[in-house]
A and B are shown apart, each in its own frame.
Chain A
């Protein structure tokens, strides 16, 4: 059983929107802070953002390049994390990973997002 499985990636035009999902299994999702991290082709890891657990207010934090355009949410009843991406730019092209905790202790396998006209 894979603990985290991302989905929703694909090809989108600049200015478009996409919503990524991260389905969790076999872990205490509702007790976990959750994060998104991305990696552009051939580049290093870049932290995207984090959402705290409900008991800590589900507070979110974002990296500067995505603040105001991306939004992280969670549905604990479905054990699913989301990343809503709006006003996408070519520089958002990357593999997107979800992970548990503020520093991803467990990682998903990633979903690829390509922003191109």
Chain B
């Protein structure tokens, strides 16, 4: 079954404590992205990756890092989380950029206190 898997689904952490949200896809997709969803602002892209070792900033990259060492995995790293990063995060993957179907994970609800 085609799947994008994020972990954890829920996370409460304290300001400044580094965390990683994992994302894995089983479809051999080249494109992967991270989005955050906030009330009234919709989904906004944080970072994206076109292939292994190729990543670039999206619209709201401040405070986040990503890596793409393997095709299937695209972790999102918050080196020093702050309360304004409290949000719902989604990972997505697709095979052909903006012209093909994107598959989204189930989301990670992060609370930073």
Instruction: Report whether chain A binds chain B.
Output: no
